[in-house]
Amino acid sequence: MSRLCRCCIVMLLLLPAACAREVPTLYEFADLPENGACRIAVLPFVDKGSYPRGAAILSKVFVSELVASGKFKVVLEGDILDLYKQLMIYPNAQPNQEQLQIIGGRLGVVLFIGGDIVKMQQQKNRKTMETDLTFILRVYDGTDGRMLWETYHRRRGDYYQKVLHFGRINTITGLARQMSREVISLWLEKGMAPCPR
């Protein structure tokens, strides 16, 4: 077998391995409720980056994509923030397990979704805008506050132009929207049961 042929075979074997990390990474710690994830509360995200109002942007985009999927009923943000005030939880902090139990009991939710923004960046680079977003989303049980799933996702706006040929995503909101869709699709694929119709 020629050297060129061997190199081609090695490249074909390594290509899927190189692309394997291009989807969000899901860690499953426990099973989701079997009766479906009909009523979900999205907690305010925690911004560990330096982007102005990054947590608010990603929270609102993620909620809008959950609602747009048509598969879940999402609790209103105002209801969650009212309970944060009553329990004296800062909006930039995640509640502990006991507080999650209280919130879950009052709102009657099956699941909570909370998360951290690790990096959110949008900067002009010569002729184009460079966008970069990294976040971690956690799914908690609505009855006892246990963490069930954790999802890590990182993308740059130019990824979609280079790999998927969709065109470059030039805004952080557009990047957050596309990444949110990818996470929701992964969750549905891995067994997050939507509301029964």
Domain residues of the chain, as ranges? Answer: 24-189
Q: Is 195 exposed, middle or buried (0-12, 13-18, 19+ CB in 10 A)?
A: middle
CATH topology of domain 24-189: Rossmann fold (3.40.50)
Distance CA(182)–CA(143), nearest Å, equals: 27
CB atoms within 10 A of CB 188: 15
**pLDDT on residue 22:** 62
Report phi then psi at 114, rounded to 5: -130, 170
pTM higher than 0.85, yes or no?
no
**pLDDT on residue 152:** 97
Round the average pLDDT of the chain to a whole number and report it: 83
Q: Which residues of the chain have pLDDT under 50?
A: 4-20, 165
